[in-house]
Amino acid sequence: MKPRISLRQQGLVVFTALLAPLLLQTRPTGAGAQVTVLACALAVPVLWILLLPAGRGLAPDGPVLCRGAFAAALAVSVACQLYQAQRFYSDTTETELSLFWYTAVVAAAVLYGVHAGLGGITRTANVFLWACGGGAVLLLLSVLGQLRVSSLQVVASPQTQLWQALPARLLLVPEFLLPAWLAPTPRQGQRVTAAVLAGWAVVAAALAVLGEAVLGAGYADQSHPVYTVARLGGVSVFRRLDAVHVAIWMLLALLRLMLSTWALLRLLQGLLPTARSRWLLIPGGAALAVLLGTCTAQQMEWVCGGLLALALAAALLPKRRKKP
Amino acid sequence: MSLEKLSGSLQKDLPVLKQMFGDSMDLYAKNLRIRGVECAACMFDGLSSTEKLWVILLDLLSREGPPMPDGAALTNYILHASDLPVEATPVETFDDLVARMTAGMTVLLVDGSPVAVALSSQLLAYRSVSEPSGEGNIRGSREGFCDLLRVNISLLRRLIRTPDLVIEMHTAGDLTGTEVALCYNRRLAPPELVEKVRRRLQNTKIPLLLDSSYLAPFLQKGPFSFFQQAGYTERSAAACAKICEGKLVLLVNGSPFAMILPHFFIENFQSLDDYAAKAYFASLLRALKFLAFLLAVMLPGVYVAIAQFSPELFPPQLLYKVAAAERATPLPLFLEMIFVLILLEIVREAGLRLPKPIGHTVSLVSALIVGDAAINAGILSTPVVIVAAFTSISMFVIPALYEPATALRLLFTLAGGVAGLLGVACMFAVMAVSACNTDFLGMPYTAPLVPARPGMLRDGMFRFSWRVLARRPYTIREEVPPHETED
Amino acid sequence: MKHAKLLLAVLLLLLTSGCAGEPLSGRAVVNTLYLDWNTTGWRAVLVYVTSSASADAGQAKPEALVLSGQGATVADALQDAQSASPLTAFYGQNELLLLGPGAQGKAMYEACVYLSNDSAGRPNMAVFGVQTLAEDWQPASGEDRYALLRQLEQAEGESLYTQRLYRLAGAEAGILPCLEVDCRAGTAVPGDTRLFLGGQCTAVWDREATALAALIEGQVRSVSLEASTGRGPVRYTLELPLLGWEPSLDTLTLNARLSGYLKNLTDSGGLIHTGKQELADEIAAQLEETARRITRQTFGQGQDLLRMGFWLRSRDAAACAELERAGRWYDPDRIEWEVRLRAL
C-alpha cells in the first residue's frame, strides 16, 4: 500500500519533464517571438481537444491498440531523448561524448530513478524544478543588461508565419498524454492536462520573448536558441555561466528520461504480463534499432507524434468487453 | 530465556540460578531465615548495594511477630502488609528473575513460595547526566542522556509533565536482553505509526543491542538510500521537542543516543538553538547549514569538473592561478582531489580514535605535513587543499549528515572527474532520487520541503516566530498521507 | 555483489575511455583575438595568458604570449595560429575581438559569423576596430604584453559604446567602436566610432555622437562630454538621461524626447556657477543636431541600427510595413528629436 500521488504532483512532474525539450532545443525555431506567442496560445486549446479521448483510451479496460501505440511512442521518445540530449551536450560543451558513452553516464541515474517509481520521480521533480527556477533567475539576471525591448521584431501580418509555426507546436509528445493516463478519472486527467499545457505554453512563449529581446532578429535562426542566450550572460566575476545552465537542463532531461522509461515499463507490464508475451519485445526492439540507425531526430519525433495520434484515434474505439 | 516458573523450593531454585549464571563470581546469594522461613537473597554485586540490602533485611528481621506458617504467607506479608521498598509485582519465572537481578534489584527467594520478591536495592555505577560532547548549543538545557535507561526516562518525564507522555517498555537482543523504551505523546503521535513501530520492534531479532542505532535497519525498510530515516539526539530537551511534534523516541539501555522516528531531511539543519534565537536569525542559520551541506558534498566534484571540462566558469584571475597550480603538481587534478579527501578522512579518524593528549598532535602533523610541506614540495596544490579544507569545515556544521556526505562527496568527485558537469548532474540526480524516494511508513523523508507544504515555511527551511508557531504548531500528522491506495 | 562488480567495470571503462577531459595546464587561455584581412588572406593573432608553474597558486605570476597565423579563411588562420603552440587554444575566456584595418568592412561580417557560430567562444565578446597590424603585436616581454592586455580591458570598460559579436554576425551594417592601441608603448584608449553600411565606412562619429548612440541603446546611464559653446569648450556630465518615444499615428512619425540633468559644468576657469541654464540649452541644441545627424546616417540610409523604428512599428505594424513596401519608411524626418536638459 503506497501513498497516493496527488494530481498537483502529477501535473508538476509532467510539466517539469516538458521543460527539457523547450530548453534543449537543437534546431532553429524559424519563428519570431510574436508568432511563437500566438502559436502557443492557439496550440493549447487545440491540443487539449485532441487529447480529450486519452483518459478513456488509456484506462486499464481501454483498447489495447491505444495503450500499445502509446507504449511504442514512449519507446521512440526515449531513444529520441537520448539522441537529442547527447547531441545538445556535445554541441554545447567541448566534450566529444558519443551516444554510447552518454547513455552509459546517464544510465545509472535514470535506472535508479525508474527503480524508485513514480513517487520518487515526482518528488525529485520538485527538486529539479527548484533548481530550474534558480537557473532561470540567474539567466535573467545575467542577461538583464543586454535585454532590449526594441530588439523585439514586430511582424505586420503574422498569419503566414503562424501557419508555418503552428505544426511544430502541435506535434504531440508522450508527456501530453501522461496526465490522462496517471489520473484516477478522465475528468481529472483533463484538468491536469489543461494546466500542464497552459504552463508549457507560457514557458515557451516567455523563452521566445526573452531570446528575441536579447538576440533580436537572429534568435529565430539560432540552432540552440536558449543556449545562445545563456552564453551571453555573466554575473559579477563569473563572466560565463552557460555550463551551469546546461548542467541544470541536463537534470530536466534526466527527469524526462526517468519518467518516460518508467511509464514505458509500466505499460509493458500491463500489456505483456506473461513471460511468453514478452518475446514480442524482440521485434519491437529491432524496429527501434532500425529507426535509430536510419532516421534523424526530427523524423523520429514525427514517428512518435504519429504513434500518439494513432493512440488517440484508437482511444475512440469501443472498450474491451470483459469476458463473462 | 526460560519461561519456567519458580518451583518454590530453595533447594531446587538456587542451584538452577547458579547454573544459569555459570557460578559467576559477582552473583551474591545469601541464605537467611525470616520469621522462621528459609529465604535466600540473590543479587549481582556491583549492580545492587549490599548496604541497602541489609538495611532492608535488618529492618525486616527486626520486626517482631509470630513465625509465618509457610513461605507463601511470608511473601504475602512482605508484598502487601509491610512497608518495605519492594517491587509491586512478584517474580514468578526465571526469566523475570534474571531481568530483575540484571536491573540491579535483589530477589528474595522464599522457600515454599511459588513467587519471589524483588527488593529495590539498586546502586548502579553509571555515567552521570552531563552536557553531551556533540550537539553544542548556546542556549537551552545542557543536560544530555546518560547510559542508564531509567535515568533517561526520568529526564523526559521531568520535561513533559503531562499525562500524554506514554513510555512502553520492550526488550531486544537475544544475548543481552536489553531494555528499549518507546516514548510518544498519545494525543499527537499517529496511532498507526505507533502500532507499526511497536510491531517492528517486537519482531526485531538481533543477537545483541548495545546502541539505539542497531535497531535502525529493522525499523526502517525500503530500498537503499544514502540517508538515514532515523535521527539521533543526546539532548533530552531535543527528544522532548520531537515527542511534542508527534514523533516517537526510542531509548535503549546502555546508550545515550535516543532514536527519533520518523526523521526528516530538513531536521539535520535544525537545532535547539533555533527556537531560542530570533526567527530571522534561525532561518538564516538553517539556510546557511543547507548551503554548507551542498558545498560539503558537491564542491570538490564541481571544482574538478569545472577545472577539467568547463574552465570558462572560473573568473579570469582565478583561472591562471589554478592552471599554474595544476602545472606544478605531478598528479592529475582529479586524482589529487581524491587523494586529499581520503587523507583528510584518515586524519579525522585518527584524531577521533586517539587518546585526547595525543589527538592534538594529529592536527599539528596534518597541518604541517599536508598543508605546508606537501605544497612546498609541489606534491599538492593550494587550490585543491583549500577546496578540501573548506569542504571539511562545511561538514562540521552538520555532523548528523557526516556519513552520507562523506560517501557522496567522493562519488561527486569521481563523477565530476570522469564526466564533468554532466557527471555532477547525474550524481545530483542520484542523490535527489535517493532522498526523495526515502520515506518512513508513507511519510516522505523530504517533508515538508518536498512535496512543499506550509510547514516548509513555518518550521522547515525557515522558522516563523513563536507567535505563529504557537497558533498552529507543526506536527507530523501533517505528513501522514491522507489516503492509501494500491500502487 | 553482482551489481557492485558491474558498476566497477563501468567505472573502470569510463576512467580509461579518455573521458577525463583536457587538463587546464594543456590549454592556452585566449584573452584577446585579433583578426585582419588583406588580399593574401586572413591574419590571426591570439593573445593568451599563462603563468609559471607553482603549487602555491598565490605565487603564480601571469604573463601573456602571442600566437599568430594566417590562412584563406578565418578558421584556417586560427588553426595556423594554434598549431604554433603545443597547447590547445581555449576561447571560453575570450572577451575581446579586435579587427584590424583590413577586417573592418565587408570582411567584418564573415569573421563575426564564424566566431558567433563557434560554441567554444562567447557570442557577446566586445568587438573593436584598431589600426594596428598583425606584425605590431610583438611587445618586448611577457609582462609588457600582460600590461597591454590590462590596458585593453580598461579601454573596453571606458568605451562609451560596446558592440557585441552577435549583433554584427550576419548583419549588413554595423557600428564599430575603435580603440587606439600602441603595442610598443603598451597603451590602449577608446577612439572614435565608425559606421559601416554595406561593408563601407560611411561615417566617423565623435564622442558626442557615440554617447548619443549609447544612450539610445541604453548602454550608458550617465556620460561625460565636452561641447563647444559660445563660452568656449565646456565639459559636463549628463546624469539620469531619460529617453521617451512618442509615436504619432496620424503622421506616422516618432517624437524622441531626451531629457536629463547637467552636472559639473566646467570650462577653462573651473566650475561654472552663472548662466548654467543657458549653457544647458545651448548644449541641448547641439545634442539635438547630433541626434538628427546620426538618424540621417543610420535610419535615413535604410539601416535602423539603433532600432528606433520599433516604437512606431509596435503601434501600427501594418502601416509601417506599407510604408516600407512603398520605399518611404526610412525617411530621417520621420523621427523628430527634442532634447531638454536642466542644469544642476
User: What's the confidence (pLDDT) of residue B377?
Assistant: 85
Amino acid of residue A181: W
Nearest to A78 by CA among A289, A311, A322: A289
CA distance B420 to chain C (A): 8
Asked, for residue A255, whether it belongs to a domain, the answer is yes
Widest CA span of chain A, in angstroms? 73
pLDDT at residue C11 is higher than 90: no
- C-alpha distances out from residue B343 to A146, A252, B380, B392, B393, Å: 46, 35, 12, 12, 15
Contact A5, A122 (CB under 8 A): yes
Find the angle CA(A114)-CA(B290)-CA(B257) to the nearest 5 degrees. Answer: 90
Q: Which of B323, B376, B414 sits opposite C24 (nearest CB)?
A: B323
Q: What is the pLDDT of residue A199?
A: 96
Q: Considering CB atoms only, which of C11, C31, C51 is closest to B323?
A: C51
Q: Which CATH superfamily is domain C219-344 in?
A: Nutrient germinant receptor protein C, domain 3 (3.30.300.210)
Is residue B294 within 8 Å of residue B250, measured between CB atoms?
A: no
ipTM of this complex: 0.93
**Which ranges in chain C belong to alpha helices (H)?**
2-16, 74-82, 106-117, 142-158, 165-168, 207-217, 276-297, 310-313, 317-325
The answer, yes or no, to whether residue A88 has pLDDT greater than 60, is yes
pLDDT class of C13 with cuts at 50, 70, 90? low
B456-466 mean pLDDT: 84
Tens-place pLDDT, residues B316-347: 888 888 888 888 888 888 899 999 999 888 88
Do residues B455 and B448 make contact, with C-beta atoms less than 8 angstroms apart? yes
Q: Where are the alpha helices (DSSP H) in B141-190?
A: 149-159
Q: Dihedral sign, CA of A170, A173, A175, A179?
A: positive
User: Which one of B53-67, B400-414, C54-68, C172-186 scores highest in mean pLDDT?
Assistant: B400-414
- With 70 as the cut, is the pLDDT of residue C14 above it? no
Q: Which residues contact B165 (CB under 8 A, 6 or more apart)?
A: B156, B157, B183, B184, B185, B243
Contact flag C20-B417 (C-beta cutoff 8 Å): yes
Selected residue with higher pLDDT from A222 and C19 = A222
Residue A262 makes CB contacts below 8 A (sequence gap 6+) with A113, A114, A117, A118, A121
**How many angstroms separate the CA of residue C234 from the nearest CA in chain B?**
39
Using a CB–CB cut-off of 8 Å, the residues of C that contact B are 11, 14-15, 19-25, 27, 29, 31, 49-58, 60, 62, 90, 92-93
Percent of chain C past pLDDT 90, that is, above it, reads 38
Q: Do C11 and B375 touch (CB under 8 A)?
A: no
Helix (H) or strand (E) holding B128: none
Q: Which of A34, A90, A94 should we substitute to test contact with C (largest number of C Cβ atoms within 10 Å)?
A: A94
**Residue C11, min C-alpha distance to chain B (Å):** 9
Asked if the Cβ–Cβ distance from B436 to A120 is below 8 Å, we say yes
Q: Model confidence over A162-201: pLDDT tens digits?
A: 888 888 888 889 999 999 999 999 899 999 999 999 999 9
pLDDT given at position B376 = 84
pLDDT of residue B485: 39
SS3 at position B244: coil
Of C83 and C138, the structure prediction assigns the larger pLDDT to C83
Subunits close to A (at least 3 CB pairs below 8 A): B, C
pLDDT of residue A168: 83
pLDDT tens for each residue of B25-61: 888 888 988 888 899 999 998 888 888 888 888 888 7
Domain ranges of chain C: 27-51+61-205, 219-344
Identify the domain containing residue A110 by its residue range. Answer: 7-314
Strand order in the sheet with B37-44: B27-34, B37-44, B106-110, B117-119
Number of domains in chain A: 1
Contact (CB<8Å) B308/C19: no
Per-residue confidence (pLDDT) for residue B242, from 0 to 100: 94
For the beta carbon of residue B221, count every other beta carbon within 10 angstroms.
10
pLDDT digits (tens, 9 = 90+) for A267-286: 988 888 877 767 777 777 77
Q: Which of A111, A98, A75 is nearest to A288 (CA)?
A: A75
Residue A254 in domain: yes
- Beta strand extents in chain C (DSSP E only): 27-38, 41-51, 62-71, 88-90, 96-99, 126-129, 163-164, 173-182, 187-197, 200-205, 223-229, 232-248, 253-267, 270-271, 335-343
Residues with Cβ within 8 Å of residue C310, at least 6 apart in sequence:
A149, A150, A151, A152, A154
Tell me the pLDDT of chain B averaged across its residues. Answer: 87
Are the C-beta atoms of C175 and C161 separated by less than 8 Å? yes
Residues of chain A neighbouring C7 (CB-CB closer than 8 A): 108
Distances (CA, A) of A9 to A3, A198, B459: 12, 16, 22
Residue A158 lies in a domain: yes
pLDDT grade for B487, boundaries at 50, 70 and 90? very low
Higher pLDDT, C144 or B343: B343
pLDDT band at C5 (very low <50, low <70, confident <90, very high): low
Does residue A320 form part of some domain?
no
Q: Is C180 left (phi over 0), alpha (psi -120 to 50) or beta?
A: beta
Contact A120 B485 (CB under 8 A): no
B284 phi and psi, to 5 degrees? -60, -45
Residue A233 lies in a domain: yes
Q: How confident is the model at residue A1 (pLDDT cuts 50, 70, 90)?
A: very low
Mean confidence (pLDDT) of chain A = 89
**What residue in C sits closest to B375 (Cα-Cα)?**
C55
- Choose among B310, B317, B450: nearest Cβ to A126: B450
pLDDT of residue A277: 67
Contacts of A243 (CB under 8 A, 6+ apart): A93, B306, B309, B310, B312, B313, B421
As a whole number, the mean pLDDT across chain C is 86
Give the model's pLDDT for residue A201. 95
pLDDT at B182: 95
Instruction: Give C206-244 pLDDT, tens digit per residue.
Output: 999 999 999 999 888 888 999 988 888 999 999 888 889
pLDDT tens digit sequence for A115-135: 999 999 999 999 999 999 999
**Looking at residue C290, what is its pLDDT?**
94
